[in-house]
Structure 1
Amino acid sequence: MIVALEGKTLVVTGGTQGLGETIARLASAGGSEGIAIAGRNAERGGRIADELSRPGRPVVFIQADLADPAAPAVVMAEAIKRLGRIDCLVNAAALTDRASLETGTIDDWDRLFSVNARAPFFLMQAAVADMKTRRAAGAIVNILSVNAHCGAPDLAIYSATKGALSTLTRNIANAHLSDRIRVNGINMGWVATPAEQEMQARTLGKGEHWAKIAAADLPLGRLLTMDEVAQLTLFLLSDASGLMTGTLIDLEQSVLGAPPRGIA
């Protein structure tokens, strides 16, 4: 299914691989008027931008490390310069480094919060400023995580960053209702993104077939796909989602508050 985004420009962070790239590709297929993908990998970002660009529908790459406090303003200023405006923003970039209460350090805290919470805040600030200046409607989607509800012990700091962004999603949605700027979030379940593959297979030493083993214990026998998350993202950006704003969608194979499987 292709969700139509005709006439809309968008900025996608983390757009050089994984979910961000998938979102950019589907947005391009959906007729987006222009896309700016932001990421660290210049070679890959440039290649994706060249591949997706069409006459009158540019796709541009903006190199940025969102751990840099100045990066959000640079990304958004460059996107406006090259696309003319920002209609939609997707905050897909995130770090998933492990850190529990017992092992977490100040460096872990600062690194994860800088990319996962601080950068999205200032990216949204710039997007909303552009939309308000033009008195135009807009849409923002934040890629969150089901871990925001609690998270595994070794994801304490990561989970906290997503919890912070969840609150910001609703706060900013409420603050800009009258500006016709919609802000929604997706609490994403387990997806075998390239970053997760690196984390599970090599960093955590679970081997290249970790996803198949993990899937066997899930209710539907598989992990979520990046395409499923991307389709929902585009729906929330599109006019098809109507007035939806301040919504946090749990895209997961469980129901919050339900007892664990096997417990009556």
Structure 2
Amino acid sequence: MDVTLTGKRVLVTGGTQGIGAAIAEAAAKSGAAAVTLVGRDAEKGERVAERLRGHGCEVKVAPGDLAEAETPVRVFEKAVELMGGVDCLVNSAGLSSRASFLDAEPELFDKLFALNTRAGFFLMQQLIRHLKERGDPGAIVNVLSMNAHCGAPELAVYSGTKGAMATLTKNAANAHAADRIRANGIMLGWTDTAGERTMQAETLGKGEGWLEEAEARQPFGRLLKPEDVARLALYLLSDASGLQTGTLVDLEQRVSGAPPANVG
């Protein structure tokens, strides 16, 4: 089975770092004709793009803050200009700021939903319109979270943003199956990214030893890595996944709904 994106033009949000950059690199390695990276830091984006160009792929950068209402349309139009069209969309940009029912403030609530939900919705809207105008098929992968199933108390707002995107993923898949536009989501478990290292070590004050301790508690002896997510995203974007659409794939080391290990 060949898992490739040969000839495809791919737009990746959050593509300047972490999971998004890993997905963009997997796309570049797999034969994509072009990849456009979206992120707030243009210089960081150019550094990632330069590295990815070493795989023989045309890589562009469309900088912008997706939390701003006008940015999704602007960066999508820029990607079309840079690549001549878009065939695949990966919504990987997001914030995981902590906020529970007891301490959430309207400003943070709005910021999380603006980036994690609204931006992804309008990018999907732009791709769907673009593909329908062309009469071509396409694929969407939304990087979601296991927290969408319920979520930790301190991640109430974040969980809500991902739960909303999970529903929108299925809605898009259902509404546009006849247009041959597939939409799938990755329900992501605990992943070792640069942002998570900063969050755990500094923001939450767990210190530099947190990763070793956390990995020792995992069934497979480690946290997920960005490359794990990239492999699944590549499969879902590729023709190898066939007619798969509207699925939310749990990428986690524990089975949702299973009892805790100490429960008989």
Q: TM-score range by the shorter chain?
A: over 0.9
1:60 match? 60
TM-score by length of 2: 0.97
Does structure 1 conserve the Cα–Cα contact (< 8 Å) formed by 2:29 and 2:55? no
Does structure 1 conserve the Cα–Cα contact (< 8 Å) formed by 2:166 and 2:248? yes
Q: C-alpha separation between the residues in 2 aligned to 1:51 and 1:259?
A: 44
2:167 match? 167
Cα distance 1:199–1:2, how it changes in 2: closer, same or farther (>3 A)? farther
Query: Residue by residue, what CA displacement relative to the aligned partner does 1:225-247 show, whole Å, maximum 9, x if unpaired?
Result: 11111000000000000000000
Quick one: which amino acid aligns to residue 228 of structure 1? D
Q: C-alpha separation between the residues in 1 aligned to 2:224 and 2:50?
A: 28
Q: C-alpha separation between the residues in 1 aligned to 2:66 and 2:207?
A: 29
Quick one: which amino acid aligns to residue 259 of structure 2? P
Does structure 1 conserve the Cα–Cα contact (< 8 Å) formed by 2:186 and 2:248? yes
1:129 match? 129
Q: C-alpha separation between the residues in 2 aligned to 1:206 and 1:54?
A: 37
> Structure 2: which 5+ residue stretches go unaligned?
none
2:96 match? 96
Does structure 1 conserve the Cα–Cα contact (< 8 Å) formed by 2:2 and 2:240? no
Secondary structure in 1 matching 2:144: strand
Secondary structure in 2 matching 1:11: strand
Could you tell me how far 1:198 is from its partner in structure 2?
1.2
2:218 match? 218
What's the C-alpha RMSD, in Å, of the aligned pairs? 1.5
Could you tell me how far 1:182 is from its partner in structure 2?
0.1
Q: C-alpha separation between the residues in 2 aligned to 1:105 and 1:23?
A: 33
Q: How many residues align?
A: 264
Secondary structure in 1 matching 2:108: helix
Quick one: which amino acid aligns to residue 96 of structure 1? S
Query: Residue by residue, what CA displacement relative to the aligned partner does 1:9-40 show, whole Å, maximum 9, x if unpaired?
Result: 00000011000001111111111000000001
Does structure 1 conserve the Cα–Cα contact (< 8 Å) formed by 2:184 and 2:246? yes
Does structure 1 conserve the Cα–Cα contact (< 8 Å) formed by 2:3 and 2:239? no
Q: C-alpha separation between the residues in 2 aligned to 1:15 and 1:92?
A: 7
Does structure 1 conserve the Cα–Cα contact (< 8 Å) formed by 2:28 and 2:55? no
Could you tell me how far 1:170 is from its partner in structure 2?
0.2
Does structure 2 conserve the Cα–Cα contact (< 8 Å) formed by 1:18 and 1:193? yes
Q: C-alpha separation between the residues in 1 aligned to 2:211 and 2:55?
A: 39
Query: Residue by residue, what CA displacement relative to the aligned partner does 1:66-121 show, whole Å, maximum 9, x if unpaired?
Result: 11100000110000001011100000000000000001010111010000000000
Q: C-alpha separation between the residues in 2 aligned to 1:86 and 1:230?
A: 19
Give the ranges of 4+ consecutive aligned residues of structure 1 lying more than 4 Å apart after TM superposition: none
**Identical aligned residues as a percent:** 53
Counting only pairs closer than 5 Å after superposition, residues 1-264 of structure 1 correspond to structure 2 as 3-53=3-53, 57-264=57-264
Secondary structure in 1 matching 2:253: coil
> Structure 1: which 5+ residue stretches go unaligned?
none
Does structure 2 conserve the Cα–Cα contact (< 8 Å) formed by 1:2 and 1:30? no
